[in-house]
Structure 1
Amino acid sequence: MCAYVLVAEDDPKQAELARRYLEHEGHAVAVVADGRTALEEIRRSPPDVLVLDLMMPRVDGLDVCRILRRESELPVLMLTARTTEDDLLLGLDLGADDYLTKPYSPRELAARIRALLRRTRPSATEHDPVLRVGNLHVDPVRHEVHCDGDPIACTPAEFHLLEVLAAEPGRAFTRDQLLRHLHGFDSYVTARTVDVHVMNLRRKIEPDPRRPIRLMTVYGIGYKLSDG
């Protein structure tokens, strides 16, 4: 279950450890070092999960939670070096969905994120993980794609792009959002990367790639999988 994860952590070593492990797990990860930047990034390109350190400069984690809950239901995993019950309860009362106390293991961080995603993503159940959008079926467990009953061979990047789109059919994703899912924050990657993957996928899943009916362009925004 892959996601776009925003890590708000001002300790560079902790942030880099979390980023590397979560990217190894298949997530797209962005890192910010203060609460104000975290809020700006959430408003600009909403993540699927926020990993939020409580002790940060400019705007601390508690204030980020307080502000965020007036605007969004984004799942929040709180990181804290505070161990008193009052501190933990305050974070949960302000809207955090779960918490980890420092020091923590990257494996536990990844497991908590998976649990949050299972609770907040209704599209794929444990009994039937296949994502179905019309006659297009994407199976994240078997890593298979079928279109009109025929198997479709996809590169890993094409499959991941299709998985992201199929998880929320009808939703328009910006190129920037799709790039984050595909490549994280690698600065050398451009929006053209997404366009090339889309062009290749259309050759594979569209009856006429020049007149797409499944993988649609949303002009001025990006792309979506049609749910009609």
Structure 2
Amino acid sequence: MQHILIVEDDLDIQELLKNFLQEVGYETTVAGDGMEAIALFSTNHFDLILLDILLPKIDGFTVCELIRKQSQVPVIMLTALNGEEEQIRGLDLQVDDYITKPFSMPILVRKIAAVLRRSTMMPDQAHQTISYKSLILDLDSYSVTVYGESHELTQREFEILRELLLNQGRVLTRQNLLERLWKYDFYGDERVVDTHIKNLRKKLGIDFIQTIRGVGYRIDREK
């Protein structure tokens, strides 16, 4: 049974999430503030974290930052803050999804299922690794190296890089990437793709992901 950590200080929402997720087959643990969330995360295994932003003691952004220093566990942020700045900050902290309150429980459950499915699925065995210049993408372990140095990517960043490498020479629009990777689970701004591309360039120190202005992104075929 997959185990979800619910980090939420509103008791009514806590109870709603706990009961609903247990009814659909998940094990749940609840934390009422950021300090408790970090303590629970340090002593338990969780398959996914539902993380509110406005928390007592330590806010959700700080909780996510501390978790990301030691784990790539999937994180979905739940928040009443629906501004672009907050969403970009969450994406910069490598959250896997972002949903604003009030939210639909059926949609949330589908988002959880989609994130968990992506985090556990096995890639196509016909493409175990992809090499491009100094970069090697390992599709079995979801790992990437550049000049032999390993780099940590979120699942979404890895998948975007994989799609670009599997489609060398082709321009993939933002909508292409959203349809391939987010599918029906995406409700938001197309510019979420730009944020992930920016993070990829920064983390990997690469310059071969080209921006095709007004269209999307491309990696040229290796010569």
TM category, shorter: 0.5 to 0.7
Name stretches of at least 5 consecutive residues in structure 1 with no aligned partner.
126-228
What is the Cα deviation at residue 46 of structure 1? 1.9
* TM-score of the aligned structures, taking structure 2 as reference length: 0.54
For residues 22-171 of structure 1, the aligned pairs below 5 Å read 22-122=21-121
What is the Cα deviation at residue 123 of structure 1? 5.8
Secondary structure at the aligned position of 2:64 is classed as helix
Q: Name the CA distance, whole Å, in 1 between partners of 2:55 and 2:41.
A: 16
Answer yes or no: is the 8 Å Cα contact 1:17–1:106 preserved in 2: no
* TM-score of the aligned structures, taking structure 1 as reference length: 0.52
Secondary structure at the aligned position of 2:106 is classed as helix
Secondary structure at the aligned position of 1:79 is classed as strand
Q: Which amino acid aligns with 1:76?
A: V
Q: Which amino acid aligns with 2:109?
A: A
Q: Percent identity between the aligned chains?
A: 37
Using CA pairs under 8 Å that are at least 6 residues apart, name the structure with larger relative contact order, 1 or 2. 1
Ranges of 4+ aligned residues in structure 1 off by more than 6 Å? none
Q: Name the CA distance, whole Å, in 1 between partners of 2:2 and 2:14.
A: 17
Secondary structure at the aligned position of 1:73 is classed as coil
Answer yes or no: is the 8 Å Cα contact 1:36–1:59 preserved in 2: yes
What is the Cα deviation at residue 122 of structure 1? 2.6
What is the Cα deviation at residue 124 of structure 1? 10
Q: Name the CA distance, whole Å, in 1 between partners of 2:99 and 2:28.
A: 18
Q: Name the CA distance, whole Å, in 2 between partners of 1:86 and 1:124.
A: 33
Name stretches of at least 5 consecutive residues in structure 2 with no aligned partner.
125-223
Q: Name the CA distance, whole Å, in 1 between partners of 2:116 and 2:82.
A: 25
Query: Alignment RMSD, CA only?
Result: 1.5
Answer yes or no: is the 8 Å Cα contact 1:5–1:28 preserved in 2: yes
Q: Name the CA distance, whole Å, in 2 between partners of 1:124 and 1:106.
A: 29
Secondary structure at the aligned position of 1:65 is classed as helix
What is the Cα deviation at residue 47 of structure 1? 0.6
Q: Name the CA distance, whole Å, in 2 between partners of 1:76 and 1:20.
A: 20
What is the Cα deviation at residue 6 of structure 1? 0.5
Counterpart residue number, 1:8: 7
